[in-house]
Amino acid sequence: MTFSHKFHASSLREYDIRGIVGETLTEADAFAIGRVFGSMVAEAGGRKVAVGRDGRLSSPALAAALIKGLTESGMDVVDVGQGPTPMLYYASFTEPADGAVMVTGSHNPPNYNGFKMMLKNKPFFGKQIQDLGARAAAGQVVPASQGGVVQKDISDAYVARMVQDWDGERKLKVVWDNGNGAAGDVLVKLLEQLPGEHKVLNAKIDGTFPAHHPDPTVPKNLEQLIAAVAAEGADVGIAFDGDADRIGLVDNEGHILFGDQFLILMARDVLRQHPGATIIADVKASQVLFDEVAKAGGQPLMWKTGHSLIKSKMAELGSPLAGEMSGHIFYNDKWYGFDDALYAAVRVLGVISRTPGTVGEFRASLPAVLNTPELRFDCDEDRKFAVVAEVAARLKDAGEKVSDTDGVRVNTADGWWLLRASNTQAVLVARAESTSEAGLERLKAALAAQLAASGLTPDFSATNAGH
């Protein structure tokens, strides 16, 4: 029987394949991903693919269809079962596997799901995902054959390897919010081996996410954790997203630490072992982070937003540490260079327990800046990149200080503002940061003027935030 399959146009994203279950993503899609990705692994000389899944209600059926497609392409599948995305990445390295596929909807609502992939331990993204779609439509697969499936629980090995890098001194009191996400069972095992006092909120894996949405970048989702940190008198609170590749932190005073703030804590520690090393952060990060990395003797590098892009750049430069505002943290120091919220938690707790003073005192010691939250403006898919190019061209013509690493980031005497096109939605994303309210207003006015010059009417109703 000839194989051919067409995916819904919206499901083939920049970094993964994702959609609404039963509408834009189906078990037929899962089978097709297995059949085509398995063929690509075979053509690259591989035979073994690791598969994992998160705790969403649709994940077991999608994983079963995916595995059927992989084995029909001759792949031998190692099924690591339910758990966090980074545990699947870990399996890819330690099995070792030629390819890896995680069934996960990450932090999307419960009716979404998707697939994150690795090929030869490198992110599978961008053009590769588009190629997979084109090959499915053309029926370009290896002849059908039959691979095998082995179920393998690697959670104990994964936990033991993380605990090996625990380097703390004093015992801490920590509250964790699993958000009913896929890390639940592994987190419980991890905390049995970590020193200190630990309390876990929403430990049970539940794909309906009854407590709150599992996205630690949204302050509302951290309210339960903040209350628990206060009630317990804890040193720190830690939250994960739905598949535990992103981390959020709350200090002992109940303040949220943003990704670029806790990355400073991690960078200072890593730079003691690797003086002069390159530390990478995405273009959304505060100037404070880049300045603090330089002060600590590191080489700060501003790079494109997107976990696959950051991982690729880290590998290219041999960078020991990288991070994104969204809470993806990548340790290449002692670890494997992939984004892992559980491992990042082990490392940051080690740093906190060796640092005099509290996490709140660390946060208060950072230079004070004011910034907008992430501002999002609707913009047609076929127009969004053109708008950014127009803005960059006008600013360069005017002699402004512009970085176009990812979108356009403009430095002025007041601070900086950023405009970039989302890789996954029909929106433009912006941020601005200044040391004063008046400066922030001037930056927002400059951004608004540029958007207006390209025919957009921005809405700045979102409030400013201290940071």
**For 303-316, what is the mean pLDDT?**
94
Contact residues for 61 (Cβ-Cβ < 8 A; gap 6+): 27, 30
Burial of 321 (0-12, 13-18, 19+ CB in 10 A): buried
Residue among 323, 465, 447 nearest 391 (CA) = 447
**For 4-16, what is the mean pLDDT?**
94
Contact 303, 282 (CB under 8 A): yes
Helix (H) or strand (E) holding 444: helix 437-453
Residue among 238, 269, 257, 239 nearest 333 (CA) = 269
Three-state secondary structure of 380-408: CCCCHHHHHHHHHHHHHHCCCEEECCCCE
Look at residue 374 in the predicted model and tell me its pLDDT. 84
**3-state secondary structure (DSSP) of residue 309:** helix
Look at residue 464 in the predicted model and tell me its pLDDT. 47
Look at residue 463 in the predicted model and tell me its pLDDT. 44
For the stretch 107-149, pLDDT in tens is 899 999 999 999 999 999 999 999 999 999 999 999 999 999 9
The CATH number assigned to the domain with range 370-466 reads: 3.30.310.50
Look at residue 461 in the predicted model and tell me its pLDDT. 64
Look at residue 467 in the predicted model and tell me its pLDDT. 55
**3-state secondary structure (DSSP) of residue 26:** coil
**Which CATH architecture describes the domain 9-153?**
3-Layer(aba) Sandwich (3.40)
Following CA atoms 205, 210, 214, 220 in sequence, which dihedral angle do they give, to the nearest 10 degrees?
A: -150
Burial of 210 (0-12, 13-18, 19+ CB in 10 A): exposed
DSSP secondary-structure letter at 172?
-
Rounded CA separation 334/417 (Å) = 35
Residues in the chain: 467
Look at residue 134 in the predicted model and tell me its pLDDT. 98
**Residue 39 known to be catalytic:** no
Contact 312, 123 (CB under 8 A): yes
* pLDDT above 60 for 466: no
Residue among 360, 248, 312, 356 nearest 118 (CA) = 312
Helix (H) or strand (E) holding 344: helix 341-354
For the stretch 207-226, pLDDT in tens is 999 999 999 999 999 999 99
Contact residues for 135 (Cβ-Cβ < 8 A; gap 6+): 36, 39, 40, 141
DSSP one-letter string for 112-151: EEEEEEEETTEE--THHHHHHHHHHHHT--PPPB---EEE
* pLDDT above 60 for 85: yes
Look at residue 458 in the predicted model and tell me its pLDDT. 80
Determine if the peptide bond prior to 219 is cis (ω within 30°). Answer: no
Range(s) within the chain of domains with CATH label 3.40.120.10: 9-153, 157-365
- 355 phi/psi in degrees, rounded to 5: -105, 130
Contact 338, 311 (CB under 8 A): yes
Among the options 11, 58, 92, 106, which is catalytic? 106
Rounded CA separation 116/15 (Å) = 7
Only one residue has tokens 């327990």, namely: 353
Rounded CA separation 368/122 (Å) = 38
For the stretch 371-414, pLDDT in tens is 988 888 999 988 999 999 999 999 999 999 999 999 999 999 99
Which homologous superfamily does the CATH classification assign to the domain defined by 157-365? Alpha-D-Glucose-1,6-Bisphosphate, subunit A, domain 3 (3.40.120.10)
- Report the amino acid identity of residue 43: E
Range(s) within the chain of domains with CATH label 3.30.310.50: 370-466
Per-residue confidence band for 339, with pLDDT thresholds at 50, 70 and 90: very high
| Cα dihedral 151, 88, 242, 69 sign | negative
For the stretch 416-460, pLDDT in tens is 999 999 877 889 999 999 999 999 999 999 999 999 999 998 877
Contact residues for 354 (Cβ-Cβ < 8 A; gap 6+): 167, 168, 169, 170, 269
For the stretch 167-205, pLDDT in tens is 999 999 999 999 999 999 999 999 999 999 999 999 999
For the stretch 240-270, pLDDT in tens is 999 999 999 999 999 999 999 999 999 999 9
Q: Average pLDDT over the chain, rounded to whole?
A: 95
Rounded CA separation 311/32 (Å) = 26
